[in-house]
Structure 1
Amino acid sequence: MKINVDKINEVIETLDRALEAMALEEDQHRESLEETDPMYAQSARNLLHYNAFRRFDLRSTQKRLKNIGLTRFANAEGHIKASVVNTRYILSKLLEQEGIIPHKSGLSIKKGKRLLNSHTKSLLGNRSKGRRVRIMVTQPTAAAYDRQLVYNMVQNGMNCARVNCAHDNAEVWKGIIDNVRETAEELGREVQIAMDLAGPKIRTGRIVPGPKIRKFSPEKDHFGRVVNPARVVLVPEEDGIVEPQFLPVPADLLDGIRMGDKLQFTDSRDKKRKLIVVEVEDDAVITHCYKTAYISTGTLLRCSNRKLEDIPVGELPAVERSILLKEGDVLRVVNEDIEGRPALLDEAGNVTEPAVVACQHSRVFKRVKAGEKVLFDDGKIEGVIENATDTHFEVKIIRAKERGSRLKAEKGINFPNTDLGISGLTPKDREDLKFVAQHADIVNFSFVNSPEDVQDLYSELEQLQALNKLNVILKIETGRAFDNLTEILLEAMKAKHLGVMIARGDLAVETGWDSIGRVQEEILALCGAAHIPVVWATQVLEKLAKTGLPSRSEITDATTSLKAECVMLNKGPYIIQAISLLHTILSDMEAFHEKKEAMLPKMQKL
Structure 2
Amino acid sequence: VHAAAAQVGREILVSMDLAGPKVRTGDFPPGPAVARARVTRQKWGEIITPAKLYLSPAGHPVAPPPLGPGRPGVSIEVDPHWHAQLRPGSAITLVDVRNSRRRFIVSEVVEDGLVIALGQRNAYIGERTLLNHEGFRTRVTGIAPIERSLLLHPGDELILSTTQEPAVLPSAGPAILGCTAPEAVAVLRVGHRVLFDDGSIAAVVRSLRAEGDDTQALLEVTRAGLEGTKLAAHKGINLPDTHIPLPSLSVEDLAAFDFVAHHADIAAISFIRTPADVDFALQALEDIARADPDNAERIRDLGIVLKIETEPAYEHLAAVLLAGMRHRHFGIMIARGDLAVELGFERMAEVPRLIMRMAEAAHIPVIMGTQILENLAKKGIPSRAEITDAGYALRSECVMLNKGPHIGEAIEILEHLSRKLGRSELKNRQSLRRIASWGDDIAAD
Q: How far apart, in 2, do the equivalents of 1:370 and 1:309 lie?
A: 59
Whether the 8 Å contact between 2:187 and 2:243 is mirrored in structure 1 is yes
Whether the 8 Å contact between 1:385 and 1:393 is mirrored in structure 2 is yes
Whether the 8 Å contact between 2:271 and 2:310 is mirrored in structure 1 is yes
Query: Residues 278 and 184 of structure 1: is their aligned pair in 2 closer, same or farther, counting only changes over 3 Å?
Result: farther
1:272 — aligned with what?
A: 102
1:322 — aligned with what?
A: 149
Q: Could you tell which deviates more after superposition, 261-270 or 356-365? A: 261-270
- Within the alignment, does 1:510 sit opposite 2:303 as a pair? no
Query: Residues 245 and 371 of structure 1: is their aligned pair in 2 closer, same or farther, counting only changes over 3 Å?
Result: same
Q: How far apart, in 2, do the equivalents of 1:467 and 1:333 lie?
A: 41
3-state SS of 1:247 partner: strand
Whether the 8 Å contact between 1:218 and 1:229 is mirrored in structure 2 is yes
Matches within 5 A, 1:434-449: 434-437=258-261, 440-449=264-273
1:576 — aligned with what?
A: 405
Whether the 8 Å contact between 1:384 and 1:398 is mirrored in structure 2 is yes
Matches within 5 A, 1:66-215: 193-215=14-36
Q: How far apart, in 2, do the equivalents of 1:559 and 1:524 lie?
A: 14
- Within the alignment, does 1:428 sit opposite 2:255 as a pair? no
- Within the alignment, does 1:364 sit opposite 2:192 as a pair? no
2:293 — aligned with what?
A: none
Structure 1 position 248, deviation (Å) = 5.8
Q: How far apart, in 2, do the equivalents of 1:452 and 1:554 lie?
A: 36
Matches within 5 A, 1:295-334: 295-299=125-129, 312-314=140-142, 316-334=143-161
Q: How far apart, in 2, do the equivalents of 1:190 and 1:256 lie?
A: 56
- Within the alignment, does 1:535 sit opposite 2:363 as a pair? no
Match for residue 307 of structure 2 among 461, 475, 489: 475
Q: Could you tell which deviates more after superposition, 541-550 or 554-563? A: 541-550
3-state SS of 1:272 partner: strand
Match for residue 222 of structure 2 among 371, 391, 398: 398
- Within the alignment, does 1:586 sit opposite 2:407 as a pair? no
Query: Residues 332 and 445 of structure 1: is their aligned pair in 2 closer, same or farther, counting only changes over 3 Å?
Result: same
1:389 — aligned with what?
A: 209
Match for residue 340 of structure 1 among 153, 161, 167: 167
User: Aligned-pair RMSD on alpha carbons?
Assistant: 4.1
Letter in 2 for 1:292: N
Structure 1 position 183, deviation (Å) = 8.7
Structure 1 position 542, deviation (Å) = 4.6
Q: How far apart, in 1, do the equivalents of 2:258 and 2:33 lie?
A: 35
Whether the 8 Å contact between 2:261 and 2:299 is mirrored in structure 1 is no
3-state SS of 2:419 partner: coil
Query: Residues 331 and 310 of structure 1: is their aligned pair in 2 closer, same or farther, counting only changes over 3 Å?
Result: closer
Structure 2 length as normaliser, TM-score?
0.75
Query: Residues 358 and 597 of structure 1: is their aligned pair in 2 closer, same or farther, counting only changes over 3 Å?
Result: same
Structure 1 position 423, deviation (Å) = 3.9
2:435 — aligned with what?
A: none
Structure 1 position 425, deviation (Å) = 1.0
Percent of aligned positions that are identical: 36
2:439 — aligned with what?
A: none
Q: How far apart, in 2, do the equivalents of 1:251 and 1:436 lie?
A: 47
Query: Residues 546 and 484 of structure 1: is their aligned pair in 2 closer, same or farther, counting only changes over 3 Å?
Result: same
Q: How far apart, in 1, do the equivalents of 2:61 and 2:28 lie?
A: 26
Query: Residues 329 and 543 of structure 1: is their aligned pair in 2 closer, same or farther, counting only changes over 3 Å?
Result: farther
1:354 — aligned with what?
A: 174
Q: How far apart, in 2, do the equivalents of 1:261 and 1:439 lie?
A: 55
- Within the alignment, does 1:560 sit opposite 2:392 as a pair? yes
Q: How far apart, in 2, do the equivalents of 1:336 and 1:295 lie?
A: 34
2:432 — aligned with what?
A: none
Q: How far apart, in 2, do the equivalents of 1:468 and 1:251 lie?
A: 59
Whether the 8 Å contact between 2:79 and 2:139 is mirrored in structure 1 is no
Whether the 8 Å contact between 1:273 and 1:293 is mirrored in structure 2 is no
Number of matched pairs: 406
Query: Residues 371 and 309 of structure 1: is their aligned pair in 2 closer, same or farther, counting only changes over 3 Å?
Result: closer
Query: Residues 591 and 181 of structure 1: is their aligned pair in 2 closer, same or farther, counting only changes over 3 Å?
Result: closer
Gaps of 5+ in 1: 1-179, 346-352, 600-606
3-state SS of 2:346 partner: coil
Relative to its length, the structure with more helix (as a share) is 1
Letter in 1 for 2:320: I
Whether the 8 Å contact between 1:278 and 1:288 is mirrored in structure 2 is no
Max Rg structure: 1
Query: Residues 318 and 556 of structure 1: is their aligned pair in 2 closer, same or farther, counting only changes over 3 Å?
Result: farther
Whether the 8 Å contact between 2:56 and 2:62 is mirrored in structure 1 is no
Relative to its length, the structure with more strand (as a share) is 2
1:413 — aligned with what?
A: 237
Whether the 8 Å contact between 2:335 and 2:368 is mirrored in structure 1 is yes
Structure 1 position 200, deviation (Å) = 2.1
3-state SS of 1:474 partner: strand
Q: How far apart, in 2, do the equivalents of 1:301 and 1:594 lie?
A: 67
Q: How far apart, in 2, do the equivalents of 1:436 and 1:219 lie?
A: 47
1:146 — aligned with what?
A: none
Q: Deviation per CA, 1:62-99: give whole Å up to 9, x if none.
A: xxxxxxxxxxxxxxxxxxxxxxxxxxxxxxxxxxxxxx
Whether the 8 Å contact between 1:592 and 1:598 is mirrored in structure 2 is no
3-state SS of 2:405 partner: helix
Q: How far apart, in 2, do the equivalents of 1:485 and 1:595 lie?
A: 31
Q: How far apart, in 2, do the equivalents of 1:417 and 1:566 lie?
A: 30
Q: State the structure with bigger RCO (CA 8 A, min sep 6), 1 or 2.
A: 1
Whether the 8 Å contact between 2:155 and 2:220 is mirrored in structure 1 is yes
Match for residue 291 of structure 1 among 97, 121, 127: 121
Whether the 8 Å contact between 2:25 and 2:180 is mirrored in structure 1 is yes
